[in-house]
A and B are shown apart, each in its own frame.
Chain A
Amino acid sequence: MIEVRIHGRGGQGNVVAAYLLATAAFNEGWHAQAFPAFGAERRGAPVVAFVRLNDKPIRRRCQVASPDFLIIQDEALLQVPGITEGLKPDGCILLNSIRSSESFADNIKNNIVTLPATQLATEHLGRPVPNTALLSAFIKLTGLLPQASLGRALEERFKGDVLNKNIALIEAAATGLTAGLWKETANA
């Protein structure tokens, strides 16, 4: 079973990111589960969502305690104590940041890849919503799902201009990343 914990702030589309990833995986034949650990919903507050993917039905309902992957939508959340808690030793972190991956190597032992997702989103959507760019990068790095699966999941949720701009955004986000860089963790 693959477990993902997504950290973000209210308004960044944290829960939607979890739902999109689970939907994309479900469409590819996975058993998938996605759910939020809500506080009272409000913009700007730290929020967490979880995704589980498995080749058999998922019955457990508890929060993800030892994720294989973290997706962190806001670099400042790295300052929140315990944000990487429970991450498996070979677990990987995808971080929304304009800084290079290497610049975090001193402080973070896990494999970390950064993506300037807010910048990319602002460019393509005109709004600083980093979730779909990060998902696209996540799918490329893990090789868990075909790259096109995210676009198909987006089609179920959005249409028109929003959909088209997101499709362009997720293509741009995946460009330049090493396909299957995190394959080992994803297949563990």
Chain B
Amino acid sequence: MRKALEGSQAIAQTVALCRPQVVAAYPITPQTHIVENIARLVANGKMDCELVSVESEFSAASLVLGAACAGSRTYTASASQGILLMSEVLYNIAGLRVPIVMTCANRAISAPLSIWNDQQDSMAVRDAGWIQLYCTDNQEAVDTTIQAYRIAEKTELPVMVCVDGFTLTHTLEPIDIPEQEMVDQYLPAFKFSRALDPRNPTSIGTLVSPDFYSEARHSHHHALLNAVDEIISADADWEKISGRAAGGLLAVDGPDDARIGILTLGSVYGTLSEARDEYPELPATSLLKLRAYRPFPADALRIACQNFTDLIVLERALSPGYGGIVASEVHSALANGTAKPRIHSFAVGLGGRDIPMGIYKQLHERIKVAEPAPFAIIDVALERLPVEDFGIETPPIDTANG
């Protein structure tokens, strides 16, 4: 039923529909409302699970790891510094191939300290071996959370559902919360193939010698690559039940004659999509929603970019000293294919900076260059920057921002 709900409230209600047996989380802005709402559901008898108060994110991740190893369906959520604190455990969860679902309420990383939204936190654990799915709106957050359990349990890989902090978690909007029967039909009870059993004792997480380590890593890598099929079918099957798809691996929206593409992750997609309608005079443009970031859908990307002359990769994070994180992977994915758009790498909206509708026009201005410019954070206020940022030359005049 469609209701006007805050994103966090909707996510909490959705988690309840998925019937996790164990939930553990440590509060951190902007994830807090999710866990508060789960605690309320448990306290009011509307959710039957073991909700464990823990003393840190490290403990939260460790606890759900243990519970999942014992065969429980579990849930946790965090953000920013919390993700970093649990990162050691995140690698363990993935390496042990334990199905766990967590929400990352995306937030910037300190320092400088910021409680606001960007995606540096989930990017920081990109290589932990989790599936990462990004949501453009709260409906997708709901639908993707449900799908995440199926994907995790079928692939025996953990899934991180990335939801922009504040921008989605604290926004109230119409959201359809599915019926319990729909979720039950889609998501059978969890039976972990390797659940710990005292009648048949085994050890997990033991020392692996050089004789076997490479094979374990190989299998983990290929499990992620193979998860592509399950991510697609989980979305297609949920669409059959709910009437809604969340975009599979990579969703492309735009006219056939579009020669420009803009690739994004997360909620900025909505702003760009409405801005495209507001600026019909600008060249035809396709919007690419990168939903699955891990596994990286290189094949789908090559197909999507076939007709582009220009591809803008717009990110909410960066690799200092290099530049665009996703852009570098896009470069590498397209290097050996026939699709050869010029790739423009930009970051925007770091640490919660508002991303106005005008960004769409700015992007179109930015790509009117003979050669793609180096990576740039395009919404910086140039007048606030020290001269060192510009080397020995005087600061460039920024026509796009002017």
From known contacts A35-B166, A38-B166, infer whether A60 and B274 are also in contact, taking CB-CB under 8 Å: yes
* Stretch in A21-29, A111-119, A136-144, A169-177 with 4+ CB within 8 Å of B: A21-29
B355 touches A62 (CB 8 A): yes
Instruction: Report the Cα distance A154→B30, complex, angstroms.
Output: 25
Q: Are B356 and A32 in contact (CB under 8 A)?
A: no
A18 to B171, CA, bound (A): 10
Question: Which residues does chain A contribute within 8 Å of B173, judged by CB atoms?
Answer: 22, 32-34, 58
Within 8 A of B (CB), among A57-94: 58-63, 65
Residues of B contacting A60 in the complex (Cβ-Cβ under 8 angstroms): 270-271, 274-275, 357
- Mask, B259-272, CB within 8 Å of A = 1, is 00000000110110
Whole-angstrom distance from the CB of A36 to the nearest CB of chain B? 6
A59 and B4: CB pair below 8 A?
no
Instruction: Say yes or no for B6: interface residue by CB 8 A criterion.
Output: yes
Determine whether the beta carbon of A35 is less than 8 Å from that of B171. Answer: yes
Instruction: Indicate if A188 sits at the interface (CB-CB under 8 A).
Output: no
Which residues in A have their C-beta under 8 angstroms from that of B274?
Answer: 58-60
Provide the bound-state CA to CA distance between A38 and B166, in Å.
8
Residue interface mask B59-83, A partner, CB < 8 A = 1: 0000000000000000000000000
- Contact: B271 with A40, CB < 8 Å? no
Number of A interface residues at 8 Å Cβ cutoff, please give it.
22
Which residue of B has the minimal Cβ distance to A24? B4
Shortest CB-to-CB span from A172 to chain B, Å, is 26
Q: Chain A: which residue is nearest B164 at the CB level?
A: A61
SS class of chain A's interface: helix, strand, loop or mixed? mixed
Interface flags for B127-146 (1: CB within 8 Å of A; 0: not) read: 00000000001000000000
In the complex, are the beta carbons of B273 and A59 less than 8 A apart?
Answer: yes
For the complex, give the distance between the alpha carbons of A18 and B3 in Å.
Answer: 15
Judge if A31 is at the interface, Cβ distance under 8 Å.
yes
| Cβ 8 A contact of B172, one of A27, A35, A59, A61 | A35
Q: Which residues of A contact B172 (CB under 8 A)?
A: 18-19, 22-23, 32-35
Q: Is the CB of A34 within 8 A of B171?
A: yes
Residue ID in chain A nearest B136 by CB atoms: A59
Other-chain residue from B29, B115, B356 in contact with A62 (beta carbon distance below 8 A):
B356
In the bound complex, what is the Cα–Cα distance between A60 and B275 (angstroms)?
8
Contact of A26 among B4, B170, B275 (CB under 8 A): B4
10 extra interchain contacts, Cβ-Cβ under 8 A, other than A15-B170, A36-B170, A61-B267? A32-B4, A32-B173, A33-B171, A35-B170, A36-B166, A58-B173, A59-B273, A61-B167, A61-B271, A62-B271
Among all A-B residue pairs, the 8 with the closest Cβ atoms: A59-B270, A26-B4, A35-B171, A59-B274, A23-B4, A60-B274, A34-B172, A60-B271
5 example contacts (A-B, Cβ-Cβ < 8 A) are as follows: A34-B171, A35-B172, A59-B270, A61-B167, A65-B356
